[in-house]
Amino acid sequence: MRFRPVLWVLVVTAAGFVAGCNGGGGSAPAFNTGVAAPTPSPTPVIATTATGTLTTSTTASTTLTLGPFAGGFGGTFTVPAASAMAHLQVVMSLTAPAGAPAVQNVRRLPRTIGAANISPFGYVTFTPDTNVTLPDAFVIVWKFPPGSTLPDPAHSYVALYDPNNPSANWTLVTGPATFATDTNGDLFFDWPEPNVPLVLVAGTSYQIVLFSTTSTLATPTPRPTSSPTGSPTPTPTPGPTATPTVSPTPSSSPSASPTPTPHPTVTPTPTATPTSTPTPKPTATPTPSPTPSAGFTVQTATASGNGTVTIPIASGSTGAFAALADNGTLKNYPAAEAIVQTGTLPLLGTICQTASSGQCLAAPASVINAPFTAGQSETFSIFLTTQGSAIVNGTVTVTFQDGSGNTLGSASVTVNTQ
């Protein structure tokens, strides 16, 4: 997704004025030329920051455009469909906001990046007025004034600082940048969508830094999320195909039984009872065709690949995993629900159904509607948010129920905090 903000040009005009003074203690008469004296022009104040409010939506992405500031800089800040409507106070600047840690310690958990010659060139601060989850983080486009000396886009990255998790310091979330210009001479950088879910706490100011380095950094591996192009979506396993066994029928001509499919959408019509041809030998009864019913199965996938989700212990830290539900039965479940069960663990769990791209089809919630027809398979993303307490080998279960509360299938993962 790329946004191209409008070029802003600020023209600063300064007008001087001349004042004359005469000695001798008296006032000299006005020298009238017939032309009005010029009025001094005030020196314009150039804003060093740009501020605005972005209102999130539960059904679509929203974008805020800010600028110009500091002589022509500007940009756009875009967030995806969120879990709730919230107002984000957004500030763009060229200098570090108060309280932000030194950018020399940019890191990507769980290891230090070790980047050389880090040079920040922009900051974005955003503060929500209510708790809200952004399943796919954010998209930033940064606008430079015409004629600017630009950083190298191939070595320009974005990092995030969460004050609720200070031990993580700055965390690399996306990069490198892509440079573009248009016919108006606009210059801008944009970055790939981070694919990192964010659980935002009301009143917390989250910091984003745009920086360049002489090092080439590995593109962050996205967590399994709704956006995700990097979500570990398990490959659906088709139900077994039953092979009918035909018993030899001496001296009889039964009609052929239909070959069953893995997930028929209707109940097969029973084969008519064959009429045996009169013969002195006994008539054999044909073997009935098996009814395919693989059952309702649920599988999970984690980024670690070992069925375990590890989340920082700090309150508000997040983790995620994916699930595949396969209705291998002959039944339709129009009122089925998907439920995240965390038991007594200090966790908030939400779930959303995902498209083939990994994107959430609706805002995540602890319980969602998940209708299934016979033979239907669907994928889901589950988001977990810690509440500041240690978890050792905890269990989180995703359960699918029909409209009467009967369990259709379930699967679990192990959760630890560190």
From CA 290, how far away is CA 211, in angstroms rounded?
63
pLDDT at 66 over 70: yes
Give 304-329 pLDDT, tens digit per residue.
Answer: 889 999 999 999 999 999 999 999 99
What gap in Å lies between CA 10 and CA 14, rounded to an integer? Answer: 13
196-214 pLDDT per residue, tens: 788 899 999 999 999 999 9
Give Dmax (Cα) for the chain: 151
Query: Residue 384 forms beta bridges with which residues?
Result: 319, 349
Are 157 and 278 contacting, i.e. CB atoms less than 8 angstroms apart?
A: no
Residue 290 banded pLDDT, cuts 50, 70, 90: very low
Domain match, 207 and 307 both: no
Q: Which of 212, 227, 259 delimits the end of a domain? A: 212
Q: What's the mean per-residue pLDDT of the chain? A: 77
Answer yes or no: is 3 within a domain.
no
Q: Does residue 242 carry a pLDDT above 50?
A: no
Q: Is 81 left (phi over 0), alpha (psi -120 to 50) or beta?
A: beta
Shared-domain flag, residues 199 and 301:
no
**Cα–Cα distance, 72 to 55 (Å, whole number):** 25
Using DSSP, state whether 125 is helix, strand or coil.
Answer: strand
Q: Give me the pLDDT at residue 85, please.
A: 93
> Edge-to-edge strand order for the sheet containing 139-144?
62-69, 73-79, 139-144, 187-190, 178-181
Shared-domain flag, residues 202 and 53? yes
Put residue 110 in one of left, alpha, beta given phi > 0 → left and psi -120 to 50 → alpha.
alpha
Choose one of 154, 188, 212: the last residue of a domain.
212
Q: How many domains does the chain have?
A: 2
Report pLDDT for 62: 93
In a domain? residue 290: no
CATH assignment of the domain containing 335: 2.60.40.3880
Query: 233 vs 89, which has greater pLDDT?
Result: 89
- Residue 284, domain member (yes or no): no
Is residue 205 domain-shared with residue 303, that is, in the same domain? no
pLDDT at 19 over 80: no
Same domain, yes or no: 86 and 195: yes
Q: What is the pTM of this model?
A: 0.47
pLDDT score at 370: 95
User: Which domain, by its residues, includes 357?
Assistant: 295-417
Using CA of residue 178, residue 115, residue 120, residue 202, what is the dihedral sign? positive
**Extended strands (E) in 119-155:** 119-128, 132-134, 139-144
Per-residue DSSP letter, 105? G
- CB count in 10 Å sphere of residue 136: 25
Residue 233 confidence class, pLDDT cut points 50, 70, 90: very low
Residues 58 and 192 in one domain: yes
pLDDT, tens digit (0-9, with 9 covering 90-100), for 351-362: 999 998 788 999
Q: Give the least confident one: 17-21, 23-27, 80-84.
A: 17-21
Contacts of 180 (CB under 8 A, 6+ apart): 2, 4, 187, 188, 190
* Lowest-confidence segment of 137-151, 176-190, 215-229, 274-288 by average pLDDT: 274-288
Residue 17 lies in a domain: no
Quick one: pLDDT band at residue 99, thresholds 50, 70, 90? Answer: confident
pLDDT of residue 168: 64
**What is the structure's pLDDT at 318?**
93
Q: Which contiguous run of DSSP H or E holds residue 385? A: strand 377-386
Tally Cβ neighbours within 10 Å of residue 331.
13
- Identify the DSSP state of 330: S
Look at residue 127 in the predicted model and tell me its pLDDT.
95
What's residue 98's pLDDT? 85
Does residue 299 register a pLDDT over 80? yes
282 domain-assigned? no
Nearest to 5 by CA among 60, 94, 68: 68
**Mean local confidence (pLDDT), 62-74:** 92
Q: Is-contact 209 121, C-beta < 8 A?
A: no
Q: How crowded is residue 276: how many other Cβ atoms within 10 Å of its Cβ?
A: 17
Report, as an integer, the average pLDDT of 224-229: 39
Q: Is residue 109 assigned to a domain?
A: yes
pLDDT in tens, 263-273: 444 444 444 44
Of 186, 212, 238, which marks where a domain is finished? Answer: 212
